[in-house]
Amino acid sequence: MTQTLRRELRIKFKDILEVHFGEKEFQFHCCEELTDSLADAALEVSAIAKQEIAIGISNKIFAGQPVTEADVQIERNKVQAPRMFEKALGTGTWPWSSNNVWVKFEKFVCEIYARDPQAFGKYIIWRAGDGKYTAMNNKQIRAQPQVFMDTGWPEFEKSLETQSSQSSGRGSERLNR
């Protein structure tokens, strides 16, 4: 804990309490112990908040914390997933992280890519075949990424489940013959 920050917090709290109580009442009701306690509490809360913030690889290195393979993979996915999505759809760059919906969409794309790096290519194949009447095109996805997350992608995943259950059923029929 830095003494300068502690001193600045004490002064701020003293000013706030004097305004709230009035200078004379503050001197009567409050003392240095109260401002010290408030400053310590604020620094403690600040330290807890800083610990809870997820830090990237560069911050971990700077802070002297170990960097795991999982950290590297997460950072790699954050960069590669949006690029691979754009590449699979054959588009230019999309407005990733430009607003809350796009931040959410970027996380969504990263999660899908982490599960299956070929997923976006599979979506394009499905869109050209079985999904040609229900799939969203590039323009629709870009205009309404939330709709794609809510209905477009789940529709694709549902069709994959249906295909896999049908193909496993066919295999068992052949075995029974």
Report pLDDT digits (tens) over 60-71: 788 788 888 888
- What is the rounded average pLDDT of the residues 38-65? 64
Q: Is the pLDDT of residue 49 over 80?
A: no
Q: Token pair of 119, please? A: 């997923």
Q: Residue holding tokens 């509490």?
A: 41
Sign of the dihedral through C-alpha 64, 68, 72, 74: negative
Instruction: Provide the pLDDT confidence category of residue 31 given band limits of 50, 70 and 90.
Output: low
What is the per-residue DSSP string for the chain? --HHHHHHHHHHHHHHHHHHH-HHHHHHH--HHHHHHHHHHHHHHHHHHHHHS---HHHHHHHT----HHHHHHHHHHHHHHHHHHHHHT-----TTSSHHHHHHHHHHHHHHHH-TTHHHHHHHHHHTTTTTTS--HHHHHH-HHHIIIIIHHHHHHHHHHHHHHHHHHHHHHHH-
Q: Token pair of 92, please? A: 């230019």
Give the angle 66-70-71 at the CA atoms, nearest 5°: 55
Distance (Å, rounded) from C-alpha 59 to C-alpha 89? 33
- Give pTM, 2 decimals: 0.60
* Per-residue pLDDT at 175: 43
Write out pLDDT tens, residues 102-153: 999 999 999 999 999 999 999 999 999 999 999 999 999 999 999 999 999 9
* Per-residue pLDDT at 52: 40
